[in-house]
Amino acid sequence: MSVETPATHSETTGTAAEAGAGATARFRANKTIGATSSQERVARLAGKVIKAVNDTVLEEEVTYDEYNALKAWLIKVGEDGEWPLFLDVWVEHSVEEVANANRHGSKGTIEGPYYVPDSPAQKTPAVLPMRENEPGTPLLFQGQITNIDGEPLKDAKIEIWHADDLGFYSQFAPGLPEWNLRGTVLADDEGRFQVNTVQPAPYQIPTDGACGQLIAAAGWHAWRPAHIHLKVSAPGHQLVTSQLYFPGDPHNADDIASAVKPELMLDVHEREDGPGRVTTYDFRLDPED
């Protein structure tokens, strides 16, 4: 599923179409497409969406020129492979809110389009796969995984992935090693983990494709604040998918994906025992239903 890389192609010269094609292919490979919803449920949901579109047309007196521009844009979203990007940026945050409304433990947020399963596993303390002299500020990310009563969870694990110092994800930008800044870390018997990585950069979602056209036409910005993606799990407990954010990022308040929550903000300090920074964040997992 990785982006094929010509000899002169690097992460900074990748295109939205390449990233979109990779995200679409990955979604098709990893997701079970289809739902067990009844015919009545499908009719209700589809009917509401279609009615909302028609209500907008009537209320805003949409012209044929605007209607045809919409058709052309929808076609281009598919051609660019950007449906995963579009839906994950502008819709997933509401789906996540519904899905996790009854959690009592750690907050979740969106997965986004760039998750890849089966990343290389290692025991804590871990060092994420990275290039020699990986650009960026070294970051030690540590914490503990417990149940909602604060009891340590044995056999817990944490999947972690994030952008590099230029804002690009491995397997979705050319020129990066396959598992760069991606890994699965096995916590110790007390649920504690340490992950050595680099601090990710804020980034713009791809803007040279259909989603970028929408952003430009609407006068929006395309920025996501710097963040670390995580999937945290333990036997007998609900997996939580989350993102953690860095204080002071100018786009924490206006994330294009609407995924930032106050509970997901990190507390970051300069390390006293070495170069770089350190942050501690604990996870509390709800029991399985």
* pLDDT computed for residue 31 by the predictor: 61
Would you kindly state where each structural domain of the chain is located, as residue ranges?
98-285
pLDDT digits (tens, 9 = 90+) for 144-199: 999 999 999 999 999 999 999 999 999 999 999 999 999 999 999 999 999 999 99
- The model's confidence at residue 32, banded by pLDDT at 50, 70 and 90, is low
102: pLDDT strictly greater than 60: yes
Are the CB atoms for 41 and 211 separated by under 8 Å? no
Q: Where is average pLDDT lowest: 5-9, 40-44, 247-251? A: 5-9
* pLDDT computed for residue 3 by the predictor: 47
Q: Nearest to residue 160, comparing CAs of 110, 233, 246, 230? A: 230
- The DSSP line for 134-201 is -SS-EEEEEEEEEETTS-B-TT-EEEEE---TTS--TTTSTTS-TTTTEEEEE--TTSEEEEEEEPPP
The neighbouring-strand residues paired with 194 are 142
* pLDDT computed for residue 101 by the predictor: 94
1: pLDDT strictly greater than 70: no
* pLDDT computed for residue 25 by the predictor: 75
pLDDT digits (tens, 9 = 90+) for 224-272: 999 999 999 999 999 999 999 999 999 999 999 999 999 999 999 999 9
pLDDT digits (tens, 9 = 90+) for 104-136: 999 999 999 999 999 999 999 999 999 999 999
Are the CB atoms for 206 and 228 separated by under 8 Å? no
* pLDDT computed for residue 9 by the predictor: 64
Mean pLDDT confidence for 270-279: 94
Q: Nearest to residue 200, comparing CAs of 123, 134, 274? A: 134
* pLDDT computed for residue 4 by the predictor: 47
* Cα(158)–Cα(5) distance, integer angstroms: 30
Q: Which is more confident, 121 or 205?
A: 121
In this structure, CATH architecture of domain 98-285: Sandwich (2.60)
Q: Where is average pLDDT lowest: 10-19, 67-76, 135-144, 208-217? A: 10-19
7: pLDDT strictly greater than 60: no
* Cα(158)–Cα(180) distance, integer angstroms: 16
The neighbouring-strand residues paired with 243 are 229
Q: Is 42 exposed, middle or buried (0-12, 13-18, 19+ CB in 10 A)?
A: exposed
